[in-house]
Amino acid sequence: MGKGPLLLTLALLSSACTEALLQPQAVTESTLDDRLQIRGRVCTNPPDPSGFPVKIVFLIDSSGSMCISDGPGSQASNGFCETVGDQLAAMGITTPGRVRALHSLIDRFRNQRNVQVALIPFDSKVSNMYPATGFTPASDGALPTRIDALQNELGKGTDYQGALAEAYARIDADIQGLVTAGRRGELPRTKYVVILLTDGIPYPRCTTNDADPDPSVYATPARPWGIWRDNPVTFCNPLLDENGDILENPNLDENDQEIVLGFTAGADRNQNYQVFDAADRLSALKDKYNIGEVRLHTIMLLNKEAVNLCGEICMRDVYSIPGGTAEDAARVAEWTLRQIAIKHGNGTFQQFTDMAQIELGSLDYSSLASRFVQKTLLVSNTAAFPVLQGPSLDSDGDAVPDTEDSERVVGTNHLNVDTDGDGFPDSFELAHRPRGFDPLLPDPRGCKDGPGFIAVFSCRDTDGDGLSQAAEVYLGTDPTLPDSDADGIPDGAEVLLRMDPAAANERLMDHDLDGVPDLLEVFQHSNPMLDDRLVHARDSYRYEIVEVPQDNGRVCYDYLVTNIRLMTPDQASGQHGYNFITLTFGEAPETGVSRDYGLWKKACAFAQFAPPSLRSPAGPELTLTERDFARLDDISYIPGSSVPTNFRTFCKGAVP
């Protein structure tokens, strides 16, 4: 047992407060019994490994040299592999090492529902990909046949740049598909693994400038980091007539098909900067889309015995490098692949010279699965909006105190969160008047028809964060995620407090310069936009949270939240004093609490306070249980109200 993450976070944030904040505060004593505390238990979901996908892209070199480096293999009836086949037959190898290793790895994953794969063979271009788009489960019965086919129909080139670009395109499309399907929440729990398996240097390798007078700018086996000269020259450069017009395109085969997709003769191709940039783009997907992990590993296969048996044709034409030998080419390939994996891909490099020893299982394919722990426990009395002097009565919970929320002051209805019904809370429209919002007139950007326009968005709150679809579209938040920036504060709460629901770093800021970070102010129910330090000691909520691990992998939290100030709000029914109090709980995998969007649920309670005669509960405390919490997306709300439609059965306490 111990402190939960929220309590630890609050303690750490408190340690950053100014010395002035820690000095004894003058507290006005009151005999009014207006404080409540809430006690209870809430538990996380049990661990579920299937909710942590591992998606693997295999970029498999299918150039003709693979029939030597990891034979046998075939190109065509008169291909290079058939030419040297007799010399290699003496080795007695019937199945390429990469084929055997892939079979073994897929067999290992066959019963793991969270593992999906994509096979992308490449030579001068990618071809025979499986599946054609996306990923397929490791249990796919067609995979063994597809793996066996890797030793057939070998091509000619080794286009690193094109292969890495295809891996990027496939992963990016998968990410976009998840976002479009409303499954962005899976991304921080997903691991993408790319494996580039090849036997040599990129080929072809072209440069736009082969005529620099300074030879030091060009790469050599001793300086592989430079610019590589054209190889082969006839492919890299177009044939021109006397007028400079192109006579033929060397990048077309006999069927007028591009040999290297997207390549224009005379341009750069497979230069170091291009290959490394392609690897960097892959790695950058992690931060760009908040992915759990993206890793690019490289594997080099080179059967030296087979190369020697192949003889001079291999030494001179297949494995050599301009200005170097076969050994030089191998060293350059190793340097390049190490750079791709280690420096640019957040991965590892492996090399095999004995094809019988090829083993793909030692790479890290482990999922990011871990137990779920607390990300957030946030308590709020919606009838008490924090202002400079402390909690102020806010009957409808729209973050506009009743003293302002009236027809006499700003014209709004103090019993309706959204007076004009356009999907934007009154407080938001008042704060954004310079941008054309008016809490009394439906906005064209909203969800209600108005004079001269028809609303195109829905008023429905699809994720339970307190914002309509219209508001989410305008704010740029995700209508499927209660906490779009994963900062631990639901989007709706941030909007009511005039914070940015799409900026995670805002939680560590101190907008009002009162010495208390914004995140802490949200939890203690003070205002992060007002220097209200003089009332912190008197009015801040106080949390005590104890972590209680369970045998089934769940984690429960026993909590006590005290110093909740009760108000005497109005209701449309004419009843008085019903405070609507919410408890919002977010959980996330232990391995990624700060980056995960969380799984969310909520409990609610009513407490009636109308002094001097009414207080319910009569005592100081309300108690909730784990069963009192419901998923946010299972809760629906009355239009214009912060209260759920099923509050009579859902909420505890003195229900009106």
Please check whether residues 346 and 491 belong to one and the same domain.
no
Q: Do both 94 and 79 map to the same domain? A: yes
Same domain, 526 and 642: yes
Measured over all CA atoms, what is the biggest interatomic distance in the chain, rounded to whole angstroms? 104
- Kindly tell me the sign of the dihedral angle through the C-alpha atoms of 354, 355, 357, 358: positive
Pair (381, 312) in one structural domain: no
* Lowest mean pLDDT, pick from 239-243, 271-275, 617-621, 624-628: 239-243
State pTM to two decimals.
Answer: 0.88
For residue 479, give the nearest of 499, 502, 498, 500 by alpha carbon: 502
Residue ending a domain, among 357, 381, 406, is 357
| 311 found inside a domain | yes
The pLDDT-based confidence of 311 (bands split at 50, 70, 90) is low
DSSP code of residue 343: I
pLDDT band at 76 (very low <50, low <70, confident <90, very high): low
Same-domain pairing of 537 and 633 = yes
Residues 493, 563: one domain?
Answer: yes
pLDDT at 21 over 70: no
Mean pLDDT of 602-615: 93
pLDDT tens digit string along 457-474?
A: 999 998 999 999 999 999
Higher confidence at residue 253 or residue 51?
A: 51
Which residues sit opposite 118 in a β-bridge?
57
Cα distance between the two ends of the chain: 38
Q: Residue 320 and residue 65: Cα distance in Å, rounded?
A: 12
The domain boundary residue, chosen from 308, 334, 357: 357
Contact 615, 33 (CB under 8 A): yes
**Are 340 and 408 members of one domain?**
no
All residues at 6 or more sequence positions from 270 whose CB lies less than 8 Å from its CB, including other chains? 159, 160, 161, 202, 203, 204, 205, 206, 228
Q: What CATH number does residue 317 fall under?
A: 3.40.50.410
Range of the domain at 577: 2-10+36-47+371-415+482-653
Give the tens place of pLDDT for each residue, 153-165: 788 889 999 999 9
263 occurs within a structural domain: no
Q: Are residues 55 and 42 in the same domain?
A: no
Asked whether residue 287 is domain-assigned, the answer is: yes
Does any domain span residue 220?
no
Amino acid at 648: R
Number of domains in the chain: 2
Q: Between 253 and 630, whose confidence is greater? A: 630
- In a shared domain, residues 349 and 280: yes
For residues 411 and 520, membership in a common domain is answered with: yes
pLDDT at residue number 250: 77
Of 357, 384, 401, which marks where a domain is finished?
A: 357
Residue-level pLDDT at 27 = 46
Residue 18 lies in a domain: no
Tens of pLDDT, residue by residue over 344-399, are 999 999 999 887 888 999 999 999 999 999 999 999 999 999 999 999 999 999 99
Element (H, E) at 81: helix 80-83
What pLDDT score does 90 carry? 55
Question: Do 406 and 505 fall within a single domain?
Answer: yes
In this prediction, residues 129-134 reach a mean pLDDT of 97
Q: Which of 209-218, 225-234, 376-385, 390-399 has the lowest mean pLDDT?
A: 209-218
Q: Are residues 560 and 583 in the same domain?
A: yes
